[in-house]
Amino acid sequence: MRRRPVLLLALAAGALGCTRTTELIARSSALACTAPGPAISLGAASGACAGAVAAQLSRYALCTCDDLVLTGSFLVNSPGAPTHGGPAPSPGSSPPPSSSGSPWPGGAPFNGLLPMSFFAAVGTDGALRLPGHWDVPGTFVAAGTGDVVLGTVGHVLGNARIAGSLMPSSSYWISGDAFVGGNVGGGLVVGGALHAPTSSTVASSVQAKATTREAVTVAPPCGCAAGPVVDVGAAVTARQTKNANAFLAFSDDVLDDVETPQSLDWPCGEYYLDTIRSGASGALELRIHGHVGIFVAGDVRLASTLTVTLDAGSTLDLVVAGSFYTTGRVFGSPTSPASTRLWVGSTTVSLPDQIQFGAFVYAPDAVFSAGQGLTFSGSLFVGTLSVDGDVHIAYDPALMQAGAVCGAAAPGPVQ
């Protein structure tokens, strides 16, 4: 039988029109977890520690299992950096020098003043097609046999590893080496060596410091064919009978149907909920004290904002066996996306236009859709990315430090 909340001053609060908060709810046993508490576990089959798993998966700012097909431009930079692009190097000239030794053409990146230490890779197990600007401040990997077709100018700061053909329609720059399994054309400038099979055609317009003819193979960066790294459904099922719900200061059905603003304090621990649903007036604030895991058996459906307020050093893992839908304008912690992690086991992650979204997202079986354009803080690992318009990802390098909570070293960058 469900426990019902014991409300203090409920009538007075209602009379005053106050937002319901957990300060108005009787505290439970003093035996609750002391912050920061133990690391959140996703089960032995996934390597247990949520932070360590997320750190490995977030080596890519974006990784997709299926072809990456976009209708606008794509930009990865750091939180708070400018979102505009700039000119690409001319394919009719040598790569411009940099007195600082920076790998960027001319010594500066196209998308703002990113430091040389900033590095964010992008990968897809499929191919890539987009009509706009493609700017990746790190390595780019495309393991599908289809062509990589780029529209306007752009830049890859690291290496490019492409199983199919690379066919930019205008000038394009790769600072490192380019490994291309098919044909190479367009106004491409390669700062390092171009590696391509002897059977491939390399257009005369392509410039490279050197060209090496050899077989090129590209391992799928996301590894989706091997199956999910995390069995989200099993992780949630395990928390149905083994959880810290007894230490909550409120009933575990408090988020089943939220129609008024709620601010809830979560002490460190792993909790189990049947569902999370909110109406248009049901704005949610989850105040996180330590390492918190919320395991949801059904869907998360939000018609209003869900903001995450974290104490220093705290993290939230929202583990959803069902699908995730929101029409709210805020989700997670856009200013500290490395501290909020969303794990989705079903086939749908649906966002509205112009949402402020900050989190690491792992949803390998899902179509991640975001309407007209997407501005996202954190890292995405999804089945399919479906966005009508431009995509801007502000990648937080702190994502790769998430395993420190369980003693795991940060993974190295993608080469």
CA distances from 324 to 277, 320, 384 (A): 10, 7, 15
C-alpha torsion sign, points 21, 24, 26, 32: positive
Q: What is the pTM of this model?
A: 0.86
Q: What is the pLDDT of residue 413?
A: 85
**Ordered per-residue pLDDT tens for the chain, 415 residues:** 333 333 222 323 333 333 333 333 334 444 578 999 999 999 854 457 999 999 999 999 999 999 999 999 998 887 655 444 443 333 333 333 333 333 444 444 444 434 445 788 999 999 999 998 888 989 999 999 899 988 877 889 899 999 999 988 778 889 899 999 999 998 899 999 999 999 999 999 999 999 999 999 999 999 999 999 999 999 999 999 999 999 998 998 999 999 999 999 999 999 999 999 999 999 999 999 999 999 999 999 999 999 999 999 999 999 999 999 999 989 998 888 999 999 999 999 999 988 889 999 999 999 999 988 899 999 999 999 999 999 999 998 899 999 999 888 998 889 8
Q: Tell me the CB-side half-sphere exposure of residue 228, using CA atoms within 13 A.
A: 22
Residue 348, strand partner residues: 367
278: its two tokens = 């909110």
For residues 163 and 179, the answer to whether their CB atoms sit within 8 Å is no
CA distances from 141 to 13, 120, 161, 386 (A): 55, 12, 5, 19
What's the one-letter identity of residue 141? V
Residue extents of the structural domains in the chain: 18-57+230-406, 66-90+102-213
Q: What is the pLDDT of residue 80?
A: 55
- Measure the CA–CA gap between 299 and 303, rounded to whole angstroms: 13
Comparing CA positions, the residue from 121, 64, 122, 142 lying closest to residue 364 is 64
C-alpha torsion sign, points 150, 153, 158, 159: positive
Residue 379, strand partner residues: 360
Comparing CA positions, the residue from 342, 370, 345 lying closest to residue 356 is 370
Q: What is the pLDDT of residue 269?
A: 94
Q: What is the pLDDT of residue 169?
A: 79
Show contacts of 160-165: CB within 8 Å, 24+ apart.
161/216, 161/218, 162/218, 163/216, 163/217, 163/218, 164/127, 165/200
Compute the radius of gyration of the chain from its Cα atoms: 23
